[in-house]
Amino acid sequence: MFTGHWVHFSPSHLVYDLLALGITGWIIETQKLPHFGWLCLLTPWFISAILLLFEPHMKLFGGLSALATTAIVYLALFGLHDAAPWRWVCLATLVGVASKIIFEMTTGRMLFATTGNIPVTVSVASHISGAMIALLFYGWWKIIAGRSRR
């Protein structure tokens, strides 16, 4: 359930996932956003459990894109509270993530990476799950942070 996130179907698939997660993780760490380590540790398990529940017919799973989606949405949600122009970048990022997911749902194809001759169906459920997990982590942090201010 954990290792599938680290398997990729092509060099392109790996590079795009590592770039997305690496750049986003670097920004999150630079901004010192809370609990990114926990997010990275728990998200693959949560996504795998969700896929077992909602896509039990899936035989193969690979890629870090769902974890990258989680990190991107997490960063963008925190950025909505910052000053412009970063706030607008984060809002555009959330719209972009939603647009990418809609593209994947309607076409069944990856937007950026290629997999060569390996026939791959995009797991839209994993990307939606990643976005929802980011929202839950963000909400949980806001509740915890709100309690500590009292």
| Model confidence band, residue 149 (pLDDT cutoffs 50, 70, 90) | low
> With 0-12 CB in 10 A as exposed, 13-18 as middle and 19+ as buried, what is 58?
middle
- Token pair, residue 133, equals 């997990």
From 35, 41, 27, select the one nearest 142 (Cα to Cα).
Answer: 35
Name the nearest CA neighbour of 123 among 13, 11, 20, 12.
13
pTM as predicted: 0.91
**For the segment 77-133, what is each residue's pLDDT rounded down to a tens digit?**
999 999 999 999 999 999 999 999 999 999 887 777 766 676 677 889 999 999 999
